[in-house]
Amino acid sequence: MFDLPLHPIIVHFAIALGVGVPFIGFGLWYAIRKNWVEQKFWRLAVLSSFLYALIAVAAVQLGEVDEEKVEKVVAENIIEHHEEAAEAIPWVAGVLTLLALAGCRGKYMRKMQLAFSVAGLLAIIPLANAGHTGGELVYEYGASIAHVSAEKMAQLKAGDLPLGKGEGHSHDGDGEHGHDDDD
């Protein structure tokens, strides 16, 4: 279908879930507390945190696959910095899933629901760190160049690759780029 790496695609799903999970938690906790929805709706928090954990594991695994290519253009110690930050995320998501499960029933379920939501907010910190170090790999250290085909690299070096500018790269189909130029 396409020749781009899957790691960045899956990572963005993990980031979206990681940021969304605490808000799902707070929303459900409040709605259950106000009797707007039944306790069984807390399962959505469990499901979202479990899905977050699964996608985080997939992102780490795909990052491992990607690492061999990226090591050809980025120093290993820089990659390891991101790798260490990223490897914490499935564990964080796993703990969130356990907290969500603890909020399903029992004497302290409301407190566990609130704890899950607060922990989810705090869990954004390591997630942001992993995302930041990944962004550094791509935008500061040029990790994305590892995925440029030999053909495209030759075109780039020869100056034959328009880099998204010029004719044939229109987004609206009429040859224009959707912005006003000073003529």
C-alpha 142: how far from its chain's center? 19
For every residue of 118-150, which 3-state class applies, written as one string?
HHHHHCHHHHHHHHHHHHHHHHHCCHHHHHCCH
Q: What is the reported pLDDT for 157? A: 82
- Residue 112, classed as helix, strand or coil, is helix
**Is residue 176's pLDDT more than 50?**
no
Element (H, E) at 22: helix 7-33
Longest dimension (CA), the chain: 70
Q: Which residue has the higher pLDDT, 5 or 57?
A: 57
Q: What is the pTM of this model?
A: 0.83
Q: What is the reported pLDDT for 160? A: 81
Q: What is the reported pLDDT for 183? A: 47
Determine how many CB atoms are found less than 10 A away from the CB of residue 78. 17
| Percent of the chain scoring above 90 in pLDDT | 74
Q: Under CATH, which architecture does the 7-158 domain have?
A: Up-down Bundle (1.20)
Q: CA-CA distance, 130 to 136, in Å (whole number)?
A: 10
**Is residue 178's pLDDT more than 60?**
no
Tell me the pLDDT band of 149, cut-offs 50, 70 and 90. Answer: confident
**Is residue 63's pLDDT more than 70?**
yes
Identify the burial level of 155 via C-beta atoms within 10 angstroms of its C-beta, where 0-12 means exposed, 13-18 middle and 19 or more buried. Answer: middle
Q: CA-CA distance, 94 to 109, in Å (whole number)?
A: 18
Element (H, E) at 100: helix 76-102
Mean pLDDT over 146-158 rounds to: 82
